[in-house]
Amino acid sequence: MQALSLSLASRIVDLALEKARAIDCKPLTVAVLDTGGHLLVLKREDGSGILRPQIAIAKAWGVLGMGLGGRTLAERATAAPAFFSALGDISGGRMAPVPGGVLLRDGGGNLLGSVGISGDTSDTDETCAVFAIESSGLKADPG
């Protein structure tokens, strides 16, 4: 199993930001976490809102905590709002169950960490995360 190094996490962030500029996104914030939920890399583009780091981390942390991509979490949150409200309390408000939180997996499907992006629409945030992960030779699991 491949480990998620600082170098690889930095590459993922840079690729996500390159994609964002290529498709004319609003300013983004990108976070990469390891499997323990520890922040490895965070970059906030000029003009990205002051809450974007917390949102990006919450997207990444939530998918790790539940083991499901942000798109699946969003669907489940719609179907079971009371449960996800409780999860918000249990996690100390540290999860955002929306697209833009993507699990990182190696070729064998082993979990390596997660990416969270905030700044544009959730769908566009997810597009940038998936592009960056897959361009790094890893498997993106958006849910």
C-alpha distance across the termini of the chain, in Å? 22
Domain ranges of the chain: 6-136
**Residue 88 above 90 pLDDT?**
no
Homologous superfamily assigned to 6-136: Haem-degrading domain (3.30.450.150)
**E strands, 62-109, in order:** 101-105
Please state the pTM of the whole predicted model. Answer: 0.94
The closest of 4, 6, 2, 3 to 41, measured between CA atoms, is 6
User: Burial of 116 by CB count in 10 Å (0-12 exposed, 13-18 middle, 19+ buried)?
Assistant: buried
- pLDDT tens figures, 41-78: 999 999 999 999 999 999 999 999 999 999 999 999 99
Measure the CA–CA gap between 57 and 142, rounded to whole angstroms. 15
Mean pLDDT of 94-115: 95
